[in-house]
Amino acid sequence: MSVLDILAYPSEQLKKLSETVEQVDERLLAFIRDLEETRLSGPGAVGIAAPQVNVHQRVVIVDVSNMKKPCENHGHMIMINPEITEWDGMAMGREGCLSVPDFTGNVIRAERIVLNYMDETGEKHEITSSGFEARAIQHELDHLDGLLFLDRLVSRRTDLFQRKIYK
Amino acid sequence: MNWSVLTLVGADQQGIVAAVSKLLFEADCQLAEASMMRLGGNFAIMLRVGHDASADLKTVLAPVVDGMKLHLHLDEDVPASPRHIEPDVHITVYGADRTGIVAQVTSLLASAGLNIIDLETAVGGSAEQPIYIMSIEGHAQQGIEALRNAIKNLADDIEISLTEIDTLRA
């Protein structure tokens, strides 16, 4: 296993479209192990996408189960060819990225998503994810389409007022 | 490279930013963080600028300072910015406009450990019934709970809400 180099913007490689994985073989599994080791070597990243290490295959890893502030989650997920099929609601949140060091910004994401993916054993999943985990998934899936959170920035001066609950 | 912080304020008019940045560019200056906005009828620029030790920013900017009647304040040799402090709390405040809102809110928050990183305010509503709106981002040095407890003591006519900023690191 090895820690791979993480590309940082303005690398053009981050803006490229990733290709569908046709076959899960030993080579891909070895890559996924390296990708995970790379994720864990950084400063507490909850996700990583293959193109961030210059591999343009539709593979991401997301795990928000170890957050300081616990949130709803599906544990550690290795997602191959993930696809979001439903979006619902919107929420503003602050995001940072291993490929954009020393900058964070506000991004609006769907509050709840439904997505399909295949895991590393070839098993297919359909899950509904919401909140922080859904944000992490959307952030990672963007990488597969050559998008960074910089492409979705909204002004720090824009605020979605918290919905007030009247009793 | 030396770093200076410059503040430019003057009556708002079209083309201030373009004129200022063009002069700085032509003098080989490098622009870093900036905050610019209209304040009443004025336009205010705060800007961190990197420049050669020999560059005299007052001379560089003289054409626009004189031509557009701007006030220039220069803080020289400001050390390069350390890694920015990450805000972990966002606070929104609003209420019928009256004196003392900012003083009361920020005093309470400061005593509970808030380090303000970004603050902006606006006056809205009608002329007869103005409302005051304030948005703060900061770092809760004694934790968010300390801030939550502190704001319980705030006057009833001020609405305040505090949201934790959970930055996604991906």
Query: How close is the nearest chain A Cα to the Cα of B93, in Å?
Result: 11
Look at residue B79 in the predicted model and tell me its pLDDT. Answer: 79
The 10s digit of each residue's pLDDT in B93-140 is 999 999 999 999 999 999 999 999 999 999 999 999 999 999 999 999
d(CA A54, CA A18): 10
Kindly state whether residue B81 falls inside one of the protein's structural domains: no
Look at residue B77 in the predicted model and tell me its pLDDT. Answer: 85
Average of pLDDT values for A12-36?
A: 97
Rounded to 5 degrees, what are φ and ψ at B20? -65, -50
Contacts of B167 (CB under 8 A, 6+ apart): A94, A95, A96, A104, B86, B88
Kindly state whether residue A6 falls inside one of the protein's structural domains: no
Q: Which of A42, A96, A162 sits opposite B163 (nearest CB)?
A: A162
Domain range for B125 is 89-164
Look at residue A167 in the predicted model and tell me its pLDDT. Answer: 45
Residue in A with minimal Cα distance to B167: A94
| DSSP-assigned beta bridge partners for residue A153 | A107
Kindly state whether residue A58 falls inside one of the protein's structural domains: yes
Kindly state whether residue A5 falls inside one of the protein's structural domains: no
d(CA B165, CA B131): 26
Average of pLDDT values for A53-72?
A: 95
d(CA B69, CA B8): 10
Q: How does residue A155 score in pLDDT terms, banded at 50, 70 and 90?
A: confident
DSSP letter assigned to residue A12: G
The domain that contains B40 carries what CATH number? Answer: 3.30.70.260
Contacts of B24 (CB under 8 A, 6+ apart): B31, B49, B60, B61
Question: Do B54 and B98 have their domain in common?
Answer: no
Look at residue A163 in the predicted model and tell me its pLDDT. Answer: 47
Kindly state whether residue B82 falls inside one of the protein's structural domains: no
The 10s digit of each residue's pLDDT in B67-86 is 999 999 999 988 776 667 88
Domains identified in chain B, total number: 2
* A96·B168 Cβ contact <8 A: yes
A→B interface, C-beta within 8 Å: 42-48, 67, 69, 93-98, 102, 104, 132, 135-136, 139-140, 156-157, 159, 161-162, 164
Kindly state whether residue A90 falls inside one of the protein's structural domains: yes
Q: From its phi and psi, is residue A46 left (phi > 0), alpha (psi between -120 and 50) or beta? A: alpha
Domain range for A20 is 12-154
- Please check the confidence at residue A166 and state whether its pLDDT lies above 80: no
Question: Do B70 and B96 have their domain in common?
Answer: no
Question: Do B41 and B63 have their domain in common?
Answer: yes
Residues of A in contact with B87 (CB under 8 A): 94
Residue in A with minimal Cα distance to B120: A157
**Residues in chain A, how many?**
167
- Please check the confidence at residue A160 and state whether its pLDDT lies above 90: no
The 10s digit of each residue's pLDDT in A91-114 is 999 999 999 998 999 999 999 999
Domains identified in chain A, total number: 1
Q: Which of B161, B164, B167 sits opposite A96 (nearest CB)?
A: B167
Q: How does residue B141 score in pLDDT terms, banded at 50, 70 and 90?
A: very high
Confirm if A17 and A49 have CB atoms less than 8 A apart: no
Count of other CB atoms within 10 angstroms of residue A121 = 8
The 10s digit of each residue's pLDDT in B25-77 is 999 999 999 999 999 999 999 999 999 999 999 999 999 999 999 999 999 98
